[in-house]
Structure 1
């Protein structure tokens, strides 16, 4: 064995993981801020978001931004301190794309506009973006079909479309990011143990759901101080689902409002290997869609969507702004594992009775994350408030 090569390989792997970990806090903090913004309008909303997909899509936009427009994008996504300290956002995203899951990035340029070569090259080099040019004015339907075909292919047909109509003929380009995750539980839930149980919705109503049941040792934390429980359910390949459940008189909205990224990370890091006598979570399929061009300005990202004030001088010589930005996301959770996708556009109970019974029973609203354990980057996050509107599996 060439030991020098072996250690060099380890050093490169560690360096890549260290770089990617700098996206961990933004993926948590931005996701929580987004969730709080949605909850401010309604405290009974189900939500599914890929914070990482939004971050990657808008990092591509950053390649063409300048001035206050660039500053606002970084501030809202909590990326504003990365450039100076960790070697550049694009290099970190490049490592994320190379090492975590299945990603796809797409740039579609409108042939009537001349995109700057440096912008196109940067997206191809740093983001492995597919790129092609089309006539949006005369060939809009074909553009729509090509984009939707790309989305379907990159999410293994889980998300069939992102465009419901041809793009605006005046659009300069379309930027898309797709993320796909399919994970099998390290310890699958026995199908014979799945049973009907009542889920208590946030509005006081109840819904009969299929509840999966397991018992065993999991990383777990119960915090009476914070009035919550956390459990980690591992997949293979260093991925996990983290569930956070309010307890006592706490409710999901109150719990989320009292969490920030530092506190949530501290609680997750405080979990210990614990025997759970019952781990119960519902089977579910959740789909969501976010009009980011409406939500992000309310979070402080105003200028990129302003026709007159947006600064994107590195994209084209003409004045450019973001007119539309959409994310579609989907997750399916079953006994065998989880399938999750997003596209952003711009064993039974043990017979041995222990001295203390410890359970995690998600029969009321809860928060969940899908996380890469090597970098602590959150790929997906969501909340279930009301199972009556959830597709049962």
Structure 2
């Protein structure tokens, strides 16, 4: 795992812990890569303590500890390029929409173009914020094959908006070994110790990378898609073990798992639920709790964007969805930040019949594309 992938992994781990504080027993799903890309686009326009706080939350120092981190690493830039010819569909696209009456610094615009392959799209937020909101939402909808609609809710962009930074990420891929629909059965999923529900459980047998981790009372399974992408499932031993899992798990352990160093190919009977998740978050309060405070306050230093005074980051909206079935997985997410003025050979069983954590990673560098917790399929 390269340094940039580790930084995204650690940011995702911190965000998941913050999510679990407020989301309770709800399903959780988001794109740590998508969120971090939007925040990095904003970070390039910050200075001073504002920049330092964002760098800390994004674990930027782990990417380049001995130099000023301005640009994106090559591994992430590769994902922003054309993914044609792959056996899966992956799109990672960024966009910048700026108020046409504001003069943005040429240095900032050139840096955004160089690192994110993005040019500023002039927008009339001052007079037609609702029309601009609809245009941005339509752009996101198109890039995510219609999966993400209304990234910005009505009223989220208004006359005070001067800049909207947007990321859209979409993935659709088939399992390396597909589940046979004839083997899908109705089975019981234990939502918690007191609540059960009937779900559609997929199953098949084969050799998969697996590890039992008694120190964190969990098991881990890696399910590969066709070419380059895998789903990592972390299943607590106990029905209500997710919060204990997160309290005992360290980022170092998760990155080690993502690198599959501790996973051994094993004969396993696998059972996982078919599930669809949709999530909609305003991340401002969570990012503040994680230490990214100043960028949302009146003393924010966004002087790298424009000579105009009073810029603050007003919101960070994130929507995501995923559909996991016998064929494979379709997942999408979009993030928008608004800137305002102001062992032995034994066939094992891996039955996912209670809440679990999962993530989708790029096999080459273990870059985390999506992450989630399924509490109730």
Q: 1:286 aligns with which of 269, 274, 277?
A: 277
CA contact (8 A) 1:241 1:371 kept: yes
2:215 aligns with 225
Say yes or no: does 1:107 pair with 2:96.
yes
2:327 aligns with 336
CA contact (8 A) 2:300 2:311 kept: yes
1:117 aligns with 106
Q: 2:204 aligns with which of 192, 214, 224?
A: 214
Q: 1:242 aligns with which of 217, 232, 244?
A: 232
CA contact (8 A) 2:99 2:162 kept: yes
2:291 aligns with 300
SS at match of 2:189: strand
Say yes or no: does 1:97 pair with 2:118.
no
For 1:357-376, what aligned pairs fall within 5 Å after superposition? 357-376=347-366
Give me the whole-angstrom Cα distance separating, in 1, the residues matched to 2:366 and 2:67.
17
Give me the whole-angstrom Cα distance separating, in 1, the residues matched to 2:52 and 2:359.
28
SS at match of 1:296: helix
1:61 aligns with 42
Say yes or no: does 1:189 pair with 2:179.
yes
Shift of 1:372: 0.4
For 1:168-187, what aligned pairs fall within 5 Å after superposition? 168-187=158-177
Structure 2 CA distance for partners of 1:86 and 1:207, relative to 1, 3 Å:
farther
Give me the whole-angstrom Cα distance separating, in 1, the residues matched to 2:293 and 2:150.
27
1:149 aligns with 138
Structure 2 CA distance for partners of 1:86 and 1:208, relative to 1, 3 Å:
farther
Say yes or no: does 1:74 pair with 2:55.
yes
Q: 2:267 aligns with which of 268, 271, 275?
A: 275
Structure 2 CA distance for partners of 1:161 and 1:202, relative to 1, 3 Å:
same
CA shift digits 1:179-208 (9 cap, x unpaired): 111111010000000000000003620110
Give me the whole-angstrom Cα distance separating, in 1, the residues matched to 2:127 and 2:255.
50
Of the two, which has the highest radius of gyration?
Answer: 1
CA shift digits 1:237-282 (9 cap, x unpaired): 2100000001157711101111121012224420011010x20000
Structure 2 CA distance for partners of 1:299 and 1:203, relative to 1, 3 Å:
farther
Shift of 1:98: 2.8
Moved more, 337-346 or 246-255: 246-255
Give me the whole-angstrom Cα distance separating, in 1, the residues matched to 2:67 and 2:281.
30
SS at match of 1:40: helix
Give me the whole-angstrom Cα distance separating, in 1, the residues matched to 2:93 and 2:199.
34
Q: 2:120 aligns with which of 112, 122, 131?
A: 131
2:87 aligns with none
TM-score when normalising by structure 2: 0.90
> What runs of 5+ residues in structure 2 fail to find an aligned partner?
84-89, 338-343
CA contact (8 A) 1:64 1:314 kept: yes
Shift of 1:81: 3.6
Q: 1:257 aligns with which of 247, 250, 260?
A: 247
1:158 aligns with 147
Across the aligned residues of Structure 1 and Structure 2, the Cα RMSD in angstroms comes to: 1.9
Shift of 1:221: 0.6
SS at match of 2:276: strand
